[in-house]
A and B are shown apart, each in its own frame.
Chain A
Amino acid sequence: MDGARPVFIPVILGTPRQGRMSEHVARFVLGEVSKREGVETELIDIRNISIPVTDAGENVKEAKLSETIMRADALVIVVPEYNHGYPGLLKHVLDTNLKEYIHKAVGICGVSAGGFGGTRVIQNLLPVMRELGLVTIFWDGNFSSVQNIFDTSGNLVDQAYIKRIDKFLKELIWMAKVLRYGREKVPLE
């Protein structure tokens, strides 16, 4: 593995909804990823991705997004749970790429206003990740009753999430490095 090249793990904010609490989560996780030595990151806000709704899949690939995913070694997906499922726009955006995901790591942070921290939306998203070729980790981020975790300015109030996300990111970074080595060095036989 090319040790000179930093591990690149963008954070995807998976909802365009106005007033989204998931944005606080995404910015918190982004901040934690940024502190990691040898790791680079950036925020991918699906609200800012211009993709038509008159077609779908790789037909509506957006060049900048594809380039970012291509460069990534892993992804963090911050996803709110809407009616037990994931936002439609998130799926629309994810489906615009395919080869860009293969044999890369993904960690999912579920967000809910209720007490389950998005466990249902994470479970629903896992088969999608698998089919896209992404390798999921066994740590999740579960941000339950999200309205109580951050203050009105988006600052973290519940400090327990620092340790939880630390464990999450340790595993994700490990998986990102292992898979990069595999993509670059281990042939399919």
Chain B
Amino acid sequence: MSKGDQSKGVKMICPSCGVEMNYHADKLDYTAALTEPNKIDPELGGILDEVHTCPKCGRTDVRKTD
């Protein structure tokens, strides 16, 4: 998924129950940046993970922004 997807309103779909997930957090991953340096956000210094949670089952999933 590209960094622009979330801003265009492209929701993540829960793989367990098929409903749209709620995007509620951004979390920087510094460890992943060591193995995927091309994905590092130059202003933040790490790879940004979008955190999404399903309102039906509570499952949480992340989507890395490019």
Contacts and interface: CB of A to CB of B under 8 A. Distances in A.
Interface in A100-137: 100, 102-103, 133
Interface centre among B22, B24, B25, B54 (most CB of A within 10 A): B24
Interface residues of B, number: 20
Contacts of B26: 188
A133 B27 contact: yes
A102 B55 contact: no
A189 to B, nearest CB: 9
Interface stretch (A39-47, A79-87, A154-162, A178-186): A178-186
Nearest to B21: A184
Given A99-B49, A103-B24, A188-B24, A183 B58 contact: yes
Interface size class of A (residues with CB under 8 A): 20 to 34
B51 interface: yes
A2 B25 contact: no
Q: 3 shortest A-B CB distances, which residue pairs? A: A184-B55, A183-B53, A99-B62
Given A2-B58, A133-B51, A188-B26, 10 more contacts: A99-B27, A99-B49, A99-B51, A102-B25, A182-B24, A183-B53, A183-B58, A184-B55, A186-B24, A187-B24
